[in-house]
Every structure is written in structure tokens, then in C-alpha cells.
Amino acid sequence: MSVSYRQPGVVLTDRRFTVPLDHDDPAGETIELYAREVVASGKAHQDDLPWLVHLAGGPGFGAMRPIGRQAWLDRALREYRVLLLDQRGTGASTPATRQTLPLRGGPAAQAEYLTHFRADSIVRDCEAIRREVTGGAPWTVHGQSFGGFCAVTYLSLAPEGLETALITGGLPSLDAHADDVYRAAYPRVERKVAAHYARYPQDVARARRIADHLLTHDVTLPGGYRLTVEAFQSLGILLGTGDGSHRLHHLLADAFVRTPHGFELSDAFQEQVQNLLSYAGRPLYALVHEAIYGQGERPTAWSAERVRAEFPQFDAARSLAGDAPLLFTGETVHPWMFDCDPALRPLRETAELLAARTGWRPLYDPARLAANEVPVAAAVYHDDMYVDTAHSLRTARAIRGLRTWVTDEFEHDGVRVAGPRVLDRLLALARDEI
């Protein structure tokens, strides 16, 4: 039974759907999807509103939990009824975590189960629920980051279900292996770190001091996370957002406190780092992050870890042995995370099996994309730390009719910080109004 309630300016309805775990076996096991329907208060009884389904970033992140007409929602609600979908395994949909995955059996069964949590399954979920939500009418998809990857898969697998596709920071390479993705990523991350240190030169010494402390001390955070120097470096994931450099600066500034035993990492610093690094709320991100690039027989095989070895400037011990600034890392998943993070430790063998897996299905159909007839507009953020700009522009040229807005005004989270402007621009592009 659907439940409706109100927030300032909107009416929200909780909706639940049952879909096959494996869409190739529609009579087999099912899972539940949760979505939140959002409509402007004055249009709640307007039955002819078109629909927009929002696919969040990740993988492994649930949809936004709105408070009124936040961010891009304000623009969307002027003309759409919006469905905020918790993609399978995330949010309030059937979960996939260290607590629930053992219900599947051992690591091999868990890994097999998780092969159904990629973009192709998410798109088929959307098609299954679209018929119930819209009565069969096509809808608009807005894909942010990984949600944009899903939107390109949607254009490949089921373009008949789409009225329009709007993509923000999420045009994937159609054929790059994970190794190609990370070889392009590490130099971008290095540029972001250099820009951070140019803004906050005092952070060079602060980061080196923390790294040196971690190389000489065993530190376990309050929630059980083992803070190694590599884990500390991974805080660089913040640098891909509009306010991330400032947040990292404030975090580094208050790292140490004097105690009877000398200087130690403060409780406040440790608590913040625990919250930033723990995957307790999003374990799928770590489990299937590299699998989102899997196509064909070649395994991903811990790509980010292997490729990092090609960039020795990221080695903390080497930096500290000289006078080079410590380099942070970005949006990468490594096998040591499954040792450091108590939310991931029970899933280490499952992750190893996914990393070794071959025979991944194709996620994109270049021929179908080249013949695309769905209006598509994409915001490409210049030097986006999370998604390679060159890869995105190459894909943009491969999708017939796609229009791009390339901008350096925003980082990867542009649709969050300036949502109405970003969505307005994309809608105008898709409609050939500009």
C-alpha cells in the first residue's frame, strides 16, 4: 500500500515494486525495489504530468532523501512528476550488505548474486516498473554519475522507454577496460591534489605529518576501521566535489592533539575520518565498483591497485623519504579496503571472485547508439576527477544527436550545488531551444 505525505512545496509517496533478480528468468527469485514519488503540491492531482526517473550515482548509492524542492528537484518539479529510485541493493530496496549477503550462501553464491547488480539489470528494472508507473508511456531519465552510465545503457537496451535522456557527469567510455579508466584517472587526481596544495600550501606539511604518524603507528578508528597511510590517502576522493578541497583542508587542520603520551590523532579527527572512509552505508560501491567496467572475457582483477603501481609518485613512503608532497588518491577501490573496513571484511573473498570474473555481458550497443533517436543532453565537467573528459566526449560523438554542455564552472557534483541551472540548460539543449 502506497503512503503519501507532505513536505514544504511537495507531496511524496512511498512506492514499492517487485522485480525478478534475473530478468532472463522472470519466474525465478524476486527482489524488492523502493522509490519515492515526488510532485509539486499544486500539481499533486494533475494526472497528465510527464514522468522523470532519477538514477543516482555510485554504484551502490540510494537516491537522494529530499527535503522539499532541493537542488535540481526544484526545476524538475515545474513540469514533471519525479521518481527517485533506490537502485537494486541500495537504500530501502532489498539490501546487499555484509549482514544480508550470507543469506545467499558462501562467497561464490554471493558473487554470482552480485553479477545482477550492474547497469543492465538496473535498466531492466526501470522498464519493468515504468509500465506500472506511467501506464506504458515513455519517461525522461536523469542520470547523475553512475546513473549516467545507466542512462547510456538504457539508450542501448530499451530506447523505446525513453522520451528524453539527461546526463550529468556520467558519460562512460563504451569500450575502455578498467585499466584504461584508471590510467586516465591517476593523472587527473594528481592535478586535483596539486590544485589543493596551491590553494592551501600549509596542508603539504600537515598531510606529510599525518602520513608519517600512520607509517609508524597502528591506528584503529572508533568504529573499528584500521587507518593505514593508504586509507588516509584515499580521502582524496573529496577533491572531486565543489567543496571537497575546503573540507579536506579543515579536516587536516585539526588532526593532532597533545596528550600525556605525546601528540596523537584527535578523537574528533578520527570520528570524521571513520565517517568518510567507512563503506557500511554503501558496501555495493566497493564490491561492484570495478565490475561496472566489465565487458567481455577480460577480468578487472583489482585494476585500480595494479595501475597505481605504474604511478610511483603515489607511494607514501617514497614521498616521505624525500621532500615530495604526499599525493592523495581518488575514486578507486583496493583489496586492502576489505582488510581495513569492518563493513567489508566478511566480503573479501566475494570481492576477489568478482575481480577474477570473466564473461561479463556488454553494457552498451554502439550500433544502436549510432542510430539513436532519443533526445539526449549531457553536462560534461571539464577535468572531472571521477569521469574522464576525453572518454566522455568520445562517447558523446558516438551517440547520434547527443548535445553536450562542457563546463569548468562546476566539479562532478554540479547538479547538486547548482541543480536548477544545470537541469534547465540540459532540458533546453535536448529540446533544441538553444
Indicate the DSSP class of residue 361. Answer: P
Given the residues 213, 289, 391, 412, select the one marked as catalytic: 412
The DSSP string of 248-279 is: HHHHHHT-EEEETTEEEE-HHHHHHHHHHH--
Is 384 annotated as catalytic? yes
Q: Is 319 exposed, middle or buried (0-12, 13-18, 19+ CB in 10 A)?
A: buried
Beta bridge partners of 82: 38, 52
Closest C-alpha to 377, from 169, 100, 80 = 169
Given the residues 93, 145, 156, 234, select the one marked as catalytic: 145
HSE-up of residue 91 (Cα within 13 Å, Cβ side): 25
Closest C-alpha to 308, from 331, 277, 338 = 331
Please state, in angstroms and rounded to a whole number, the distance separating the CA atoms of residues 62 and 44.
Answer: 24
- What are the φ and ψ backbone dihedral angles of 384, each rounded to 5 degrees? -55, 130
Q: What's the distance, Cα to Cα, between the start and end of the chain in Å?
A: 43
Q: Which three cell numbers stand for residue 71?
A: 537542488
Given the residues 120, 125, 384, 388, select the one marked as catalytic: 384
Tell me the catalytic residues. Answer: 145, 384, 412
